Chains A and B, each alone.
Chain A
Amino acid sequence: MVRVTMTRTRRQRDIRIAYLLLAPAVLLLLGVLAYPLGWEVWTSFTSLSPLQDGATAFVGLENYRRQFHDPQFWSAAAVTLVYTVVTSVAKLALGLGFALLLARPFPGRTLVFLAIFLPWAYPASVSVIGWYWTLNPPIPTAYAAFMGSVKYNVDSVAGGGAWAFISVALFNIWRGSSFIGVLLLAGINAIPPELFEYALLESKSPWRRFRAVTLPLLAPFLALGVFLSLTGAFADLANVWTLTAGRIVFPVLSTQAYWLAIHGGQFGPASALSLMLVPLLLGALLVLFRLFDGPEREPS
């Protein structure tokens, strides 16, 4: 009886300590994110604008409703969808390829591993500057004529600004595939080698071995990669947007929101627009959690 009470009080104390340890991180996240998120949600229901005189009115769902009747919204949504799908698929495919290449030993593997690690390790804040200005050179350099003609040809087929957009998408793929490649390599390393040996006895077809052993065991890492790729897909566009003061001509939802907020002063619609993706991302996250943070058996 005494023992039971003792373990219970110890458990109570452990729980208190746990909350105490959790508090600083949660407070920082709340301090940085909670007020801004609340502001954004509230603003999306109002007509807040720094350009307007008079009081801010509560307009309910008007800002959302207006988006759905705006053809610009639908074109931005379409670009967002295509951009996200194309970059995510490319990142996953390349990343998986990198990881599978690195999974088996060969001479010089360490160097190739470092080479594949580099695009992510290279600070994106500055590599995106170099990348963007190299593919869209501002002045006569030795490669400017070549890049200029590429830009001209792409833009004349796909519309003005297409090349600038594509160059950012390429950057996102270049850097993201490096991150996912290393993440998946870590995943392959977590698979016990005996499983591969066993699979080798079971099936001669590499494709079937991949489907039956590698892919299911990599699923948590793939899920994590997909999610981080979804949420990180727009950071590079935002960076270039900052860099060029809005020269991206193909708007995605987030750059469209920037545009509305900064050039139009329409904070209400801009907030509504940037919140549109939240339900979709939340849904994706809840599905993916089952793969990479599922409940497990061990009670310990």
Chain B
Amino acid sequence: MNPQPWRARLGRLTLILMATVFCVFPIYFMLVQSLKTAQEDVFGNPLIVRNPTLENFEDLFERKGSARGFVGSVLRRSYPFLDWLGNTLVVFTGAVALTLTLSVAAAYGLGRLRPPGFRWWRRVIFAAYIIPQTILFVPLYQVVNALGLDDNLLALMLIYPSMALPFCIWMLSAYFQHLPREIEEAAFIEGAGRAGAFFRIILPMSRPVLVAAGIFTLGTIASDLTIASLFLLSGQNQTIPAGIGTMEVALDELAAVAGINLLAIPVIAISALFARGYVRGLTAAMLEGS
């Protein structure tokens, strides 16, 4: 292929630069705000930080109940951020683990064992996405109450998988369905049963698709604010999104931004670590499909 003319290359470069700025700028902006002192937040340049400080992050970890000073004549209260952090960790880990386990089992059943009408099973499950979430929380609240899970982290661990399961089951079952039969047969000849072939051969080779399902699940449940705010009412029981939603933004804007970053950093780190696997998994799932 001929080398591209310089004008085309310049155009491409500009587009790449624009796309990068479009994607990163809002995140950069939030990061910069969280590093600012209150003075600089009001009087400084909004786009840069001159005297970076971690005091907003430290603010979050102040002991419970202690007052953190005044703005005007209003007391700034402190928040149980450590509790929020622990709760978030528990809920996210639990929900992702549950989603992956259930979706791998269901997807293997549908894609590999292929009961009659397996494609329609898959489609009906996927169609769960058209159920309007709007006022679903009213009856959902009755379900949660009936289970005695009011204001309990377990409620979220049961509700969150329902948001990611349909996609994960669909993707994993498409992948399992397209694996050639010979892959398992080699193990059968060596005397392994279906379970043995699954754990020794299919599961290890599905790693990218499992990563894709896991990252999708994490991204989906980390985007929920509504359900967490509705079902976790007492301060100590909240997750970070629900907790930050209750903060007084007018008084604690900087601490809120710091809290946003504290949740984002681990989630982003995990996603970035597996980003390539995520793309590879999506590709693998759709490769022979359609």
Contact of A200 among B1, B19, B226 (CB under 8 A): B1
Q: Do the beta carbons of B135 and A257 come within 8 Å of each other?
A: yes
List B1-37 residues whose CB lies under 8 Å from chain A.
1, 12, 15-16, 19-20, 22-24, 26-27, 29-30, 33
Given A28-B158, A189-B279, A293-B289: A19 touches B26 (CB 8 Å cut-off): no
Given A17-B109, A106-B16, A118-B27: A220 touches B286 (CB 8 Å cut-off): yes
What residues on A are CB-neighbors of B89 within 8 Å? none
The proximity string for A residues 263-292 relative to B, scoring 1 for CB distances below 8 Å and 0 otherwise, is: 000010011011101100110010001011
Q: Do the beta carbons of B127 and A186 come within 8 Å of each other?
A: no
Q: Do the beta carbons of A129 and B283 come within 8 Å of each other?
A: no
Contact of A138 among B16, B23, B46, B253 (CB under 8 A): B253
What residues on A are CB-neighbors of B260 within 8 Å? 126-127, 129-130
Q: How far is the CA of A119 from the CA of B275 in the complex (A)?
A: 13
Q: Do the beta carbons of A138 and B283 come within 8 Å of each other?
A: no
What residues on B are CB-neighbors of A194 within 8 Å? none
Q: Do the beta carbons of A242 and B225 come within 8 Å of each other?
A: yes
Number of chain B residues whose Cβ lies closer than 8 Å to a Cβ of chain A: 108
Q: How far is the CA of A219 from the CA of B170 in the complex (A)?
A: 17
Number of chain A residues whose Cβ lies closer than 8 Å to a Cβ of chain B: 105
Closest to A261 in B: B135
Q: How many A-B residue pairs have CB under 8 A?
A: 306
Given A28-B161, A278-B132: A122 touches B105 (CB 8 Å cut-off): no
Given A18-B114, A20-B109: A119 touches B26 (CB 8 Å cut-off): yes
Q: How far is the CA of A205 from the CA of B215 in the complex (A)?
A: 37
Q: How far is the CA of A200 from the CA of B2 in the complex (A)?
A: 12
Tell me, rounded to whole Å, the shortest Cβ–Cβ distance linking B127 to chain A.
6
Q: Do the beta carbons of B16 and A126 come within 8 Å of each other?
A: no
Asked if A142 is at the interface of the complex by the 8 Å CB criterion, the answer is yes
Closest to B8 in A: A206
Given A29-B165, A178-B23, A293-B174: A134 touches B130 (CB 8 Å cut-off): no
Taking each of A126, A139, A142, A298, which has the highest tally of chain B beta carbons within 10 Å of its own beta carbon?
A126
Q: Do the beta carbons of B138 and A267 come within 8 Å of each other?
A: yes
Contact of B244 among A38, A126, A141, A282 (CB under 8 A): A126
What residues on A are CB-neighbors of B169 within 8 Å? 25
Q: How far is the CA of A142 from the CA of B170 in the complex (A)?
A: 47
List B100-130 residues whose CB lies under 8 Å from chain A.
102-103, 105-106, 108-110, 113-116, 118-119, 121-123, 125-130
Asked if B136 is at the interface of the complex by the 8 Å CB criterion, the answer is yes
What residues on A are CB-neighbors of B250 within 8 Å? 138-139
Asked if A70 is at the interface of the complex by the 8 Å CB criterion, the answer is no
Q: List 8 A-B contacts (CB under 8 A).
A: A15-B115, A22-B115, A25-B103, A39-B138, A123-B263, A125-B222, A189-B279, A292-B286
B-binding residues in A (CB < 8 A):
14-15, 17-22, 24-26, 28-29, 31-33, 35-40, 94, 97-98, 101, 106, 112-131, 133-134, 138-143, 146, 174, 178-179, 182-183, 185-187, 189-190, 200, 219-221, 227-228, 231, 234-235, 238-239, 241-243, 253-254, 257-258, 261, 267, 270-271, 273-275, 277-278, 281-282, 285, 289, 291-296, 298, 300
| Complex A-B, nearest 4 residue pairs according to Cβ-Cβ distance, in ascending order | A21-B109, A124-B223, A125-B241, A186-B282
